[in-house]
Amino acid sequence: MDFVPFQLNINGKLLDLSTPQVMAIVNATPNSFYAKSRVNTDDAILDAVNRALTDGATIIDLGAYSTHPKADAISNTEEIERLENPLKLIRENFPDVIISLDTFRADVARWAVEKFDVNIINDVSGGTLDDAMFETVADLQVPYILMHMRGTHQTMQQLTDYDNMMAEIMEFFEKRINQLVRLGVKDIIIDPGFGFAKTTEQNYELLAKMGYFKEFGFPILYGISRKSMIYNLLGTSPEEALNGTTALNILGLVNGADILRVHDAREAVEAVKIYELYKSFQD
């Protein structure tokens, strides 16, 4: 497939996506579905970020609210309390790193951008859980990751009944992209939302048809790292899902992924390197 490369405006500097970039997950939560991604001490936070950057990641995606279906809800105040120390440590020790904040709350997004110069807002709800999110990112003028999801993280697995899944997801993106553009949001990243209100089979259909989203003219973030679409299919666990993750990351790159969101940066960077050489013979 022929895809047009994109660039993101990060505080006035352009991040070139002509080569797919790797976003490393750092979880400031006690209950993320993949235990090894949780960091709860200063040393663990710094080690996780340093390792990801050393391994070739260009973006750190920090979250403090687990969206696993069995995770409990937390208040805005608790989310900010969980985020404050990790953000402070990262900014002090890695001042130039690109930080993406994984939150669906507009007030948390504003606080993080204004206090810690967070560079990207990664909203798993696509603006459906906080009506103020779109206006907030428009005001902050930061890149916004628009993900498809139905319901909440507690209810999404009961909301997988689609008449035509791809048509409905495309309609979701068309409507919400138009809203963002009208508000003046310039840098939008599309996340198809693998694992969110989708069955295992639907996730693989979504992957096979991911190129459809290029019609919108925005980069695609691809996040399947260690998810149930891998370990449920193989009868394993998140801890045993690295090999499946790498296999699916290659398929994601072939189908147009511009950013890989992963727990394991080194393996994702290697997948990109292999894909780039393969692609050079397709041109």
- Among residues 227, 266, 273, 279, the one annotated as catalytic is 227
Catalytic residue among 182, 198, 261, 266: 261
What whole-number distance in Å separates Cα of residue 97 and Cα of residue 53?
A: 9
Q: How many CB atoms lie within 10 A of CB 243?
A: 12
Q: Give the single-character DSSP code of 220.
A: B
Contacts of 164 (CB under 8 A, 6+ apart): none
CA distance linking residue 44 with residue 49, whole number of Å = 9
Instruction: Kindly give the pairing relationship between strand 13-16 and strand 7-10.
Output: antiparallel
Question: Is 227 known to be catalytic?
Answer: yes
Is 261 known to be catalytic? yes
Cα dist. 182→93, 138, 152, 172, 278 in Å?
37, 9, 26, 16, 39
Catalytic residues: 227, 261
